[in-house]
Amino acid sequence: MITLTPELLFDGIVLRPDMAVVIDDGMISDVIPACQAGPSAQPMQGILAPGFVDLQVNGGAGLLVGADTDAAALGRICGAHRDLGCAAILPTLITDRPEVTTSVIQATIQAINAGTDGLLGLHLEGPHLDPRRAGAHDPALIRPMQDDDLAQLCQAARDMPVLMVTLAPESATADQIARLTQAGVLVSLGHSDCSLETARAGFAAGACLATHLFNAMSQMGHRQPGLAGAVLSGDVHAGLIADGVHVDPAALTVALRSRPDGLFLVSDCMAVAGSDMDEFTLHGRRILRRNGRLTLPDGTLAGADLRLDRAIRTVIAAGASPARALAMATSIPADFVKAGDRLGRIATGRKADLILLDADMTLQGPVVLPQGNTPRTSGS
């Protein structure tokens, strides 16, 4: 049994001083006032928090979710992100050929059945998008949803704990969105040039979130609010790529003030995450890693070079409280995918998936708890 007494404890909702976490065989057996911890308690400098939950992860450890992805590759990607502080992730396949979608769905089911640590399910970002808002997606592979696609997605949602599908309401009907939702798919609107009215119709049909707010979507004008306006004036959830590159800090401030609830942080990271790679290939196109940005050679953003602790610091600078910023990377996404009973919080009876951050919210690493030894972070 190990008792940890950090300077601050983030329990998933609030930052709490003078608390202790009692861990027995990798499980949290109690959370108590530090004054009750006893002389064997082990102090930790910094903030003890639950591991991050990232719902948009395109790759890591040099691997990209795609045609070559199998269950072992998903395990490697999850492992790379565990070192980056993530207790759980949604690997994300961007627009690809139908056979690749099928292959990745099957690989995800196999990896889940094998008990792959940290694997929540799958996020399919496309191919049912609007080519006018393709971003780094290959426009030649974007297509409307057909009956076969709908049937495959509904079945996949029954075969895995979490299936998120990003689509544009221009490429899927309201009935298709409703049927996906009824099957358990988390439908997200994104990569769309839709009007406010079309976005609201998509949400009314069952879509419950938006993919990377502000990016690859119709922007908010005072007469044409678009998808961004629908999110800011509504109550659906939305992910944010808070790297200071994808979204200007002033826009982050607007979003945080407009939506006190429902926003969460995503990394949108690519194969370079957890590696020293300076470029990789996406559908035959070079993606360059330069100065914290990932771009096509023409400058088009192509995913992000982002860790969630950096995203936390970015939204704090934009006006979020430290507790809210931490929740945006832990309990809010965990609750959204209905995993809040095991992820995103520090509470009795939960697995001790813990991370340590310093006072400036820089990740020190996952807390490693070998039996009988002093706890350490993976970076120490």
Structure confidence at residue 119 (pLDDT): 98
For residue 376, the one-letter residue type is R
CATH architecture of the domain 52-336 equals Alpha-Beta Barrel (3.20)
Q: For residue 125, give both structure tokens.
A: 């970002």
Residue 293 β-bridge partners:
290, 304
Known catalytic residues are 268
**pLDDT by 10-residue block (mean), the chain, 380 residues:** 95 97 93 92 95 97 95 97 96 98 98 97 98 94 98 98 98 98 98 98 98 97 97 98 95 97 96 86 86 87 91 98 98 97 96 96 87 63
Q: Which residues pair with 122 in a beta bridge?
A: 163
CA angle (79, 82, 88) in 5-degree steps:
100
Same fold? 2-50+344-377, 52-336: no
Angle (nearest 5°) at CA 370 between 369 and 371: 110
Q: What is the pLDDT of residues 155-191, one digit of tens each?
A: 999 999 999 999 999 999 999 999 999 999 999 999 9
**pLDDT given at position 276:** 85
Which pLDDT belongs to residue 373?
56
CB atoms within 10 A of CB 103: 18
The reported pLDDT for the residue numbered 300 is 87
pLDDT at site 302: 84
What are 298-303's contacts with CB under 8 Å, separation 24+? 300/135, 300/136, 301/135, 301/136, 301/215, 301/245, 301/246, 302/135, 302/136, 302/270, 303/58, 303/136, 303/268, 303/269, 303/270
SS3 category, 10: strand
Q: Distance between terminal CA atoms of the chain? A: 21
C-alpha torsion 287→290→291→292, nearest 10: 20
d(CA 340, CA 76): 24
Map residue 255 onto helix, strand or coil. helix
Considering the entire predicted model, what is its pTM?
0.95
What amino acid occupies position 300? T
Pick the CATH number of 2-50+344-377 from 2.60.40.420, 3.30.43.10, 2.60.40.10, 2.30.40.10: 2.30.40.10
List 33's β-bridge partners, or say none: 19
User: How far is the C-alpha of 361 from the C-alpha of 357, rounded, in Å?
Assistant: 5
C-alpha count within 13 angstroms, C-beta hemisphere, residue 185: 29
Report the alpha-carbon distance of residue 337 to residue 321 in Å, rounded: 23
Close Cβ partners of 299 (under 8 Å, ≥ 6 residues apart): none
The ranges assigned to domains in the chain are 2-50+344-377, 52-336
Q: Which of 246, 234, 261 lies closest to 320 in space, CA to CA?
A: 261
Q: Which contacts qualify for 19-26: CB closer than 8 Å, 24 or more apart?
A: 21/48, 21/346, 21/352, 21/354, 23/352, 23/369, 25/371, 26/351, 26/352, 26/369
